[in-house]
A and B are shown apart, each in its own frame.
Chain A
Amino acid sequence: MIRAGRAARAGRAGQYLALLGYLVFLAFPFVWLLSTAVKPARELGSLHPSWIPRDPTFANFRQAFAEQPLLQAAANSLLVAVSAALICVVIATPVAYALARHRTRLSTAATGWVVVSQAFPFVLVIIPLFLILRNLRLINTLSGLIMVYVVWALPFAIWMLVGFVRAVPRELEEAAAVDGAGRARVLFSVVAPLIAPGAAATALFAFITAWNEFFFALVLLKTPEKQTLPVVLTHFLGAEGVADLGPLAAAAFLATIPSLVIFAVIQKRITGGMAEGAVKA
């Protein structure tokens, strides 16, 4: 008995140790980014960098804004991400409703597409997308990028929203229908208010996806004044690479804040939604 207890305690200690190992592995790069961001150039040049800057400074942040059009890039990113998120949820909600409530051949096809799109081959899509947008004169415009992001975020948004619609009791809709409300009325005045919190979480998720996205933005935006934050961040790397670690770290840190804050807010809902999907898969 005693031996078993001791073994259990040792096992527990081992578990805490393992957990600590994981957390260190997952957290240390971010701590290092932060540390680099507030180090003066002198310390960054020294051969023995330390975890905690001896002489912390905000000079890197100022320099980052001076070197690259970060404000313009942030404004572009914000515009693109907010528009994409709103449009995405507005057009995804009716689809999600249709999919949750009626199983037609159309909805089977749509569900299939949602699954396939998770595995979408970006390589195969980017070239034609570039050509199509060029013909529509939407290359190097934020509206072109917004359209792409909307389509790109749709599958996941629909998937999440279907779950939220299913949770709405049908009786409510039926009562409204009996009272003579049409389809659109039922959707907008009965269902929409009830799934609003879920829709908000979905919009925020679409926002993060668009805010973080790099590949499409790299291909579709050509001039610096149009580019979004992730693309502008790569300009810090430049050809010389090594020269500007401080401002690079500072800018990278700033670009992450919106995503981190929003993610903290919706974390529960996303992991919950993913959990449900994963269990059903």
Chain B
Amino acid sequence: MTSVSTAPPSREPGEPRKPGDPGEPGERPPARPRRTGGRPRGKILDHGAWFLVLPALIPILVLSVGPLLYGISLAFTDSQAGRTTPTQWIGTLNFRDLLHDTLFWDSFGIGLLWAVGVTVPQFLLALGLALLLNQELRFRRFARALAIIPWAMPEVVVGIMWRLVYNADAGILNETIRDLGLGDGRDWLTGLATALPAVIVVGVWAGMPQTTVALLAGLQNTRRELHEAAALDGAGAWRRFRTVTWPALRPVALAITALNFIWNVNAFALVYVLTAGGPGGRTRLPMLFAYEEAFRYGQFGYAAAMSCVMVAVISVLLALYLVGRLGGGDDQ
């Protein structure tokens, strides 16, 4: 404990912040040498760290990591709800059954359509809104506060709200269509052709705020001087966006689209409330499919296999997307 005050120039390998790190808020000015330095108490601290982490680690292991592994192993069993004979290992039988399950693959296709159909417009619309909110417009603060309201709402309420909007008789959408003389409107959520698009609109609406906030943060990180310099050089708005804004925004855009995609794949409550998978399975996302398989029909093993396939395919798609995008960034 004697050497606490000696500040050796070299940092131990585990030191959290490297000398070259750009200062983050709350960072002390680099002029003052760090006094924790060599830390003869390093070992003790590590033991201490275990005690700090333990209260969170146990529930995480029991209720998060454990179930994940358990879930994967269930996929190779014939586990069912309420059966009396013991559960048995059946190898890859569930997966072989899945291969021929056209209902599941239909649902899978709908899920992909939904995830892409929501993520892409979500990004484009949120980018537009973020660019607007980044301008020196009046009411900007008010608009920003209003724009993130959907974020705070329970998904179930969002679903209920849009059911009221889409309602065939008492809904505002059909009433507006009637007012504009465009016909009688239709029953959006029960029409075979309109159900999925209608649900996708709700998905876009519900996810816009987070995306906007993330992109706005990225925009505020771009350098204003560069913008002004480019403007002086006579670069138009589109050129300035492409050469100054976009390169700075890219990492954020990449991260938020990847996250949005995952969140949208995991979406459940919205569609459950809006259509419950109907009409005729047109909006039955894989999440809904697996839920019904497990908790309505009690096929735990089969549903677990479905989930594994979903997770695997989504991970591969995401990896391809991220690698492709990151790779594309290098040659620019």
Give A contacts to B, CB under 8 Å.
15-16, 18-19, 22-23, 25-30, 32-33, 36, 44-49, 51, 90-92, 94-95, 97-98, 100-104, 106-107, 110, 113, 117-132, 147-148, 150-151, 154, 158, 166-171, 174, 177-178, 183, 187, 208, 211-215, 218-219, 229-230, 233-234, 236-237, 242, 245, 248-249, 252-253, 255-256, 259-260, 262-264, 267, 271, 274-276, 278-279, 281
Contact residues in A for B129 (Cβ distance below 8 Å): 19, 22
On whether the beta carbons of A128 and B67 are closer than 8 Å, the reply is yes
A129/B63 in contact, CB under 8 A:
yes
Cα–Cα, bound, A177→B139 (Å): 49
0/1 interface trace, chain B 255-284, chain A, CB 8 Å (1 if under): 110010010001011001100000000000
Is B64 within 8 A of A215, CB to CB?
A: no
Separation of A212 and B156 alpha carbons in the complex (Å): 8
* CB-CB contacts below 8 Å: B230-256 with A: 251-252, 255-256
Query: Which B residues are CB-close (under 8 A) to A32?
Result: 161, 164-165, 172
Residues of the B chain whose Cβ atoms lie less than 8 Å from the Cβ of A169: 26, 28
Residue B218 is within 8 A (CB to CB) of chain A in the complex: yes
Instruction: With A48-B175, A123-B307, A256-B153 as known contacts, state yes or no: A106 contacts B53, CB within 8 Å.
Output: yes
Closest 6 CB pairs of A and B: A167-B26, A275-B217, A263-B152, A212-B154, A94-B52, A128-B70
19 pairs of residues in contact across A and B, judged by CB atoms under 8 Å: A19-B143, A22-B147, A26-B149, A33-B164, A94-B53, A113-B60, A118-B262, A121-B307, A127-B74, A151-B59, A177-B4, A214-B155, A219-B291, A230-B156, A248-B160, A253-B157, A255-B157, A256-B157, A262-B152
- Residues of chain A within 8 A (CB-CB) of B26 are 166-169
Whether the Cβ atoms of A230 and B132 lie closer than 8 Å is no
- Is the beta-carbon distance between A234 and B273 smaller than 8 angstroms? yes
Contact A26 B157, beta carbon cutoff 8 Å? no
A26 touches B146 (CB 8 A): yes
Beta-carbon contact of A26 and B64 below 8 Å: no
Contacting pair A151 B64 (CB below 8 A): yes
Q: Which residue of A lies closest to B152 (CB)?
A: A263
Contacts of B161 in A (CB 8 A): 29-30, 32-33, 252
Q: What residues on B are CB-neighbors of A91 within 8 Å?
A: 55-56, 59
Do residues A104 and B14 form an inter-chain contact, with CB atoms below 8 A?
A: yes
Contacts of A106 in B (CB 8 A): 49-50, 53
Decide: A183 near B48, CB < 8 A? Known: A101-B16, A275-B220. Answer: yes
> In the complex, what distance in Å separates the CA atom of A123 from the CA atom of B137?
43
Known interface pairs A26-B150, A94-B51, A212-B154; 15 further A-B residue pairs with C-beta atoms within 8 A, sorted by A's residue number:
A29-B205, A45-B169, A48-B178, A92-B56, A94-B53, A98-B52, A119-B318, A121-B307, A167-B26, A169-B26, A171-B35, A219-B295, A249-B160, A263-B149, A263-B152
Query: Chain B: interface residue count, which band?
Result: 35 or more
For B155, the closest partner residue in chain A by CB is: A214
B56 contact from A158, A237, A281, Cβ within 8 A? A158
Closest CB-CB distance, B298 to chain A, in whole Å? 11
Closest residue on chain B to residue A241 by CB atoms: B163
Residue among B67, B214, B303 with most chain A CB within 10 A: B67
Report the nearest A residue to B213, measured CB to CB. Answer: A271
Give Cα A220 to B178, complex, Å. 44
> Chain A's interface: helix, strand, loop or mixed, by majority?
helix
Decide if B157 touches A233 in the complex (CB within 8 Å): yes
A252 vs B314: C-alpha distance when bound (angstroms): 33
Given A15-B135, A15-B137, A36-B170, CB of A255 within 8 Å of CB of B63: no
Q: When chains A and B are docked, how far (Å) is the Cα of A121 from the Cα of B111?
A: 14
What residues of chain B lie closer than 8 Å to A98, measured between beta carbons? Answer: 48-49, 52-53
Cα–Cα distance between A183 and B225 once the two chains are bound (Å): 46
Please measure, in the bound complex, the distance between the C-alpha atom of A168 and the C-alpha atom of B53, giving whole angstroms.
19
A186 to chain B, nearest CB (A): 10
Q: Would A23 and B266 count as touching, CB distance under 8 A?
A: no
Residues of B within 8 A of A117 (CB): 64
B195 beta carbon closer than 8 Å to chain A = no
* B53 CB contacts on chain A under 8 angstroms: 94-95, 98, 106, 110
Q: List, in ascending order, chain B residues with CB within 8 A of A213's CB.
A: 154
Instruction: Determine the distance from Cα of A18 to Cα of B137 in the docked complex, in whole angstroms.
Output: 12
Cα of A118 to Cα of B79 in the assembled complex, Å: 28
Q: In the complex, what distance in Å separates the CA atom of A263 from the CA atom of B147?
A: 12
CB of B150 within 8 A of CB of A102, answer no
Residues 128-141 of chain B, each 1 if its beta carbon lies under 8 Å from chain A, else 0 = 11001101010100
Please indicate the chain A residues that have their CB under 8 angstroms from the CB of B149 in the complex. Answer: 26-27, 30, 260, 263
Q: Say whether B45 faces chain A, with CB atoms less than 8 Å apart.
A: yes
Q: How far is the CB of A245 from chain B (nearest CB, A)?
A: 6
Chain A residues whose C-beta falls within 8 Å of the C-beta of B266 in the assembled complex: 120-123
Is B112's CB within 8 Å of the partner chain A? no
